[in-house]
Amino acid sequence: MGPLPTQMQGFSCPSCSNKGVLVQVAQNIPLFGHLVIQTFSCKHCGFKLNDVMEAEFHAPTRLEVRVNGKEDLNVKIVRNSSATIEIPELGAKVEPGPASMGFYTNAEGLLERVGDALNVLLNSAKGKELDTAVKVLEDLSQCRQGKKPFTVVLWDPYGNSKLLGSRVVERPLSEEETRNLKKSVQLFESEKK
């Protein structure tokens, strides 16, 4: 695939079922190589979906990296929309769903995303739920300043996600682990290798 975006018509919108447009762009991202960025948009209902993936599927993988301080916050993360991402120390988990987004960020950016989600929750939380959210936000702030170590774990049934850092540990997923993962709706069929 060349550097020019490929436009494809006629994909059904997951939100309203009308036909939308899918745009694919192959990008060469430093350190990661060639990735395909997909953007689906529906002019009928405004639904948008982004994803980032390698051009092919791989074996199910578990990736883990320990973030011990400020320098480690630069660990790069490519999360495919079908991957589950977890920060056990914060009790934070992002599971794939119908509107699941792929993204390219670093550990600091991931904390920011979790923080944004928590702040939304904070507006409606009451009682014990509110106490928990406040506590997690405090911990998260410590993590962002590099004062509290934490772990980033990625579970990817298609092995399309990546972590890039000196202490990344990678291992294949067992069949059972793969079965237990939440699956996202695969909008776009890729050839299985």
Positions that interact with Zn ion (CB under 5 A) = 13, 15-16, 42, 44-45, 47
| Nearest approach, Cβ of residue 99 and Zn ion (Å) | 11
| Nearest approach, Cβ of residue 41 and Zn ion (Å) | 9
| Nearest approach, Cβ of residue 186 and Zn ion (Å) | 18
Q: In this structure, which amino acid lies at residue 1?
A: M
Q: Which two tokens stand for residue 166?
A: 């000196």
Nearest residue (CB) to Zn ion, 44 versus 182: 44
CB count, 10 Å around CB of 7?
9
Nearest residue (CB) to Zn ion, 13 versus 163: 13
Nearest residue (CB) to Zn ion, 47 versus 103: 47
Q: Following CA atoms 30, 173, 183, 107 in sequence, which dihedral angle do they give, to the nearest 10 degrees? A: -40
* 34 touches 160 (CB < 8 A): no
| Nearest approach, Cβ of residue 50 and Zn ion (Å) | 15
Nearest residue (CB) to Zn ion, 19 versus 70: 19
Residue of 149, 135, 139, 168 lying closest to 70 (CA atoms): 149
Q: Which two tokens stand for residue 120?
A: 């939304």
| Nearest approach, Cβ of residue 42 and Zn ion (Å) | 3
Q: 93: Cβ–Cβ under 8 A, 6 or more apart, which residues?
A: 84, 85, 86, 87
Nearest residue (CB) to Zn ion, 43 versus 167: 43
